[in-house]
Amino acid sequence: MKTKLINDIQSSMKPYLNMKQQNLLLKSLLDCFDNVKHIELKKFDDNNYVEHNSKLLNLFLSAKQVEGCSKKTVAYYKTTINYMLNKVNKDVLNVSTDDLREFLSNHRKERNSSKVTLDNIRRIFSSFFSWLEEEDYIIKNPVKRIHKVKQGRVIKDTLTDEDLEKIRDACIEKRDLAMVELLISTGVRVGELVNLNINDIDFYERECVVFGKGESERIVYFDARTKIHLLDYIHSRKDNNPALFVTLNKPHERLGITGVETRIRELGVKSNINKRVHPHKFRRTLATMAIDKGMYIEHVQKLLGYVQIDTTMGYAMVNQSNVKNSHRKFIS
């Protein structure tokens, strides 16, 4: 409530004051309200803060949609922020740094959340409150004093050449083998894979255009082996669905993300590989293999569709034996 009152006073005085005067006014208001007891302000509390919170959240989500965020991202923002607001149980304009710290601490204990998950939540809150600050709903973003959650670097495993051969051997359906080969050869995201149509594939150039995060477009390439299995699968189909990958049973609808993830997981189990297999692991494997074989990091970055090279390096794990050989060549 204090924040709302200060905002209202500032807004009404803004046309009559220069920047220096506005800063002095803000300091005076903060000093004055620090001396006002909570019980004295209670009578000003808005009983409709739930409705007010919902309105501001919807405005924020609309802004994110305009910026080009995917429906999935916007939905994740909405769920995460709504959950926090229900837990904190106060007008969003009055949410403090301590409120958010307490929420994050409790959330980690209750959900046993990883540091990565906790920092993702912190970043969502930062985006929301930064927007409120930019739009002059609040004076200061309460997340600014909540630092990034420190995470230990975990080396995530990749698939070996033997693993890949075992997965190939486990594929009975032509569709599954074509799908696996495309994942191995291109490293596309599962969301990009399921959106591909047959007409998107240029078999002569062995390439296709995929649409990544933020509706960004890029070209990915596949090898001759993938081309052969893709054509074999397409020629075996009896349906008229334009999708590149469809369900095995009628009415042969476009295969979804869950369908691909389930199938790849089943193939991993069937292959008796001593590690969890999922579509994203093929992406990490491609990046690691490419860097190990000498591909420029900028080219790997382009293939994976990342803006920052640091993100690319986070997906690629350089083979330790290559590090040892390089040490002997350049240092020993």
Q: What is the spatial distance between Cα 251 and Cα 242, in angstroms, rounded to a whole number?
A: 13
pLDDT number for residue 331: 58
Q: What is the CATH number of domain 161-330?
A: 1.10.443.10
Which is the CATH superfamily of the domain at 49-152? Tyrosine recombinase, N-terminal domain (1.10.150.130)
What is the pLDDT at residue 71?
86
Tell me 155's DSSP state.
-
Whole-angstrom CA distances from 77 to 181, 196, 297, 318, 319 are 34, 27, 32, 34, 36
Q: Specify the 3-state DSSP secondary structure of 62.
A: helix
Q: 123-144 pLDDT, tens per residue?
A: 999 999 999 999 988 888 999 9
- Looking at residue 44, its pLDDT comes to 45
The low-confidence residues of the chain, meaning pLDDT below 50, are 39-46, 327, 332
* CA gap 100, 148 in Å, rounded: 13
What ranges do the domains of the chain cover? 1-45, 49-152, 161-330
The pTM of the full predicted model, rounded to 2 decimals, is 0.66
pLDDT of residue 313: 57
